[in-house]
Amino acid sequence: MADNPKKKGRDRELVSEQEHEVAYLMRTAKVTRQKALQAIREAGPNRDKVMEYLGKK
């Protein structure tokens, strides 16, 4: 389910600070929770940019 039900389009391209999304990011990028949250805040909600920020792309 999308974070915002009024928003249409692909939710997969976005990442938020919800616990399950942070946990997924921690597993896939092999980073700590703090680094995952910092990456989301610094790079924005775009999943590709977050992974690029973490140097995992």
Q: How many independent structural domains does the chain possess?
A: 1
- Half-sphere exposure in the Cβ direction for 16 (13 Å, CA): 9
* Inside any domain, residue 2: no
**Is residue 3 a part of any domain in this protein?**
no
Maximal C-alpha separation, the chain: 32
> What pTM did the predictor assign?
0.76
> Which residues does residue 14 pair with via DSSP β-bridges, in sequence order?
46
Q: What does the block give as tokens for 48?
A: 């590709």
pLDDT of residue 3 exceeding 80: no
Please tell me the distance from the alpha carbon of residue 33 to that of residue 38, in angstroms, as a whole number.
Answer: 9
Average pLDDT over residues 40-53: 94
Residue type, 57: K
pLDDT value of position 12: 79
Q: How confident is the model at residue 56 (pLDDT cuts 50, 70, 90)?
A: confident
pLDDT at residue 53, as a whole number: 94
Q: 49 is in which domain, residue-wise?
A: 14-53
